[in-house]
Amino acid sequence: MGLNAPNLFQSKKEWIWFVVLALVLIGLQLLFYYHCYQTFISQERQILRATVIAQYPKNDYLVLKLQSKRLTFYTTTREDIKDLTNFEVDIMLFLKNHTITFRDYLSTFYAPSYILRAYTVKNKPLEFIRSQHSQTMSQEFFAAIFLAKPISAQLREVVANFGVSHLIALSGFHLGILAAILYFLLRPPYRFFQIRYFPYRYELVDLGFIVTVILGGYLYLTDFPPSLVRAYGMFVVGWLLLLFGVSVLTYGFLFFVVAILVVIDVRLLFSLSFFFSVCGVFYIYMVLDWLRNRNKIIATLGITLWVFIVMMPITHYFFDQTSYYQLLSPLLTIAFSFFYLLALGLHAIGLGGWLELPLPQNLPSWSYKTPTWFYYSYLALSLLAIHNRFKPFLLIVAVVFVFFLYLTPFL
């Protein structure tokens, strides 16, 4: 697609109408959820059927993270129960004298509870992956990168020390690899039949549709993780706009996709993984003009290093764990592209055990949290960089460099 492709909207008036319509639909959805929230908290007890998506010990009790059709919540128990991860449970929540805000209801909340009954749920893809590994951490790692399954606190600490949490959470990075694999595999047979039977058909239309449907099935299989929802939304909308010759490498396109996804499910506004995913794409767009005409290898290295650096003030506002091993993150991110292809292929034929991972533990680390004033100032500066006012792009580089110096405990 040429650089002179038309933008999504041709005038400010069209943008204004789109924003107004999106806000109205978001408002209506919030009203619906607020009604559900009021009904939920009006009862002293609630019985739900939910799936246990994580279970881990903390002090002298167990923490369980559960997900029902509409709600994601935490609870605790001091009972000596078996590992219920991936089990469905009937659970009674005790809401009397326990405050749950509307924001908590839309994101995650805590409520004391009592588990009434547990049901085993067969997950053949998950069982197939786990059966290929003898180490628990390897089982968790590959279940996370293939099926978006939650990881234990122990593995979470390891990936945080290496700065590769973004590789564990399924996102556009993984979806892009899967889309490329599917396109590469489908193109030869498609071209064979196209030349002989339907030369009038367009490859972008047909293969794009097939890949979109398959990736949609994968999204369903992984239970719609927010970061992957954002990536899939951009993929689908981007493919449709490409068919109409509209430019997709713009901030407007990113804003349009985010707005559409939030209109579909307003709870994404309260998803941290969705926010990180959007920020990552935003900063990629910011640096594209600088690297557009560079060598592909240099551009890939530049984008990977850039995103790692500029995301640090944001990620450290929410997660304070810091380690010198995080400096390896850009290299590990690039290497992961090849590793993911290899791992996917080996697991597909049942040989995933060849990649048993001896993950290091107890790595040295320290804590540093981005100050609130710095965090919001940094976000404001990033938004100014959209129009390159007062050269904020270069200022962002300088600010992040200073921030990086403050991450070290020796200054």
Using an 8 Å Cβ cutoff, are 328 and 163 in contact? Answer: yes
Closest CA to 357 of 142, 79, 194: 142
Query: Does residue 290 fall inside a structural domain?
Result: yes
Please give the residue range of the domain that contains residue 337: 160-407
**C-alpha distances out from residue 123 to 128, 130, 134, 171, 221, Å:** 9, 11, 18, 22, 10
The Cα–Cα gap between 225 and 218 comes to: 11
Look at residue 58 in the predicted model and tell me its pLDDT: 84
In 349-399 the beta strands, taken as DSSP E runs, fall at 366-367
pLDDT (tens place) for every residue of the chain, 411 residues total: 444 566 677 778 888 898 999 999 999 999 999 999 999 998 888 899 998 888 888 888 899 999 888 888 999 988 888 888 888 899 999 988 778 999 999 989 999 998 889 887 777 888 899 899 988 888 888 988 888 888 877 888 888 888 888 888 877 778 888 888 898 899 999 998 888 888 888 888 889 899 999 999 988 888 888 778 888 888 888 888 878 777 777 888 888 888 988 998 888 888 888 898 889 889 888 888 777 667 777 777 888 888 888 888 898 898 888 888 888 888 888 888 889 889 988 998 989 888 887 777 777 777 888 889 889 988 988 888 887 655 667 778 788 877 877 766 544
Q: What is the enclosing helix (H) or strand (E) of 229?
A: helix 226-243
Asked whether residue 282 is assigned to any structural domain, the reply reads yes
Q: Is residue 95 part of a domain?
A: yes
Q: Does a structural domain hold residue 99?
A: yes
pLDDT at 157: 83
User: 311 and 227: one domain?
Assistant: yes
Residue 243 is assigned to a structural domain of this protein:
yes
Q: Are residues 258 and 325 in the same domain?
A: yes
Residues in the chain: 411
| Dist. CA 74–CA 63, nearest whole Å | 7
Q: Are 256 and 18 in contact (CB under 8 A)?
A: yes
Whether 287 maps to a domain, the answer reads yes
Segment 194-205, tens digit of pLDDT: 888 888 888 888
Q: Examine the domain organization and report whether 384 and 300 are in the same domain.
A: yes
The enclosing domain of 89 has a CATH number of: 2.40.50
- Looking at residue 228, its pLDDT comes to 85
**Do 108 and 221 have their domain in common?**
no
Cα 207 from Cα 215, distance rounded (Å): 12
pLDDT of residue 409: 58
- The predicted pLDDT at position 180 comes to 87
Residue 372 lies in a domain: yes
pLDDT score for 390: 55
Same structural domain for residues 101 and 216?
A: no
pLDDT score, position 165: 83
- Residue 49, beta-bridge partner list: 90
- Tokens 């009021």 — which residue? 38
* End residue of a domain, out of 66, 93, 121: 121
pLDDT at 101: 92
Same domain, yes or no, for 244 and 365?
Answer: yes
Whether 95 and 165 map to the same domain: the answer is: no
Say yes or no: 225 and 81 in one domain. no
Identify whether 10 is part of a domain. no
Q: How many structural domains comprise the chain?
A: 2
Separation of alpha carbons 214 and 208, rounded Å: 10
Cα(163)–Cα(128) distance, integer angstroms: 28
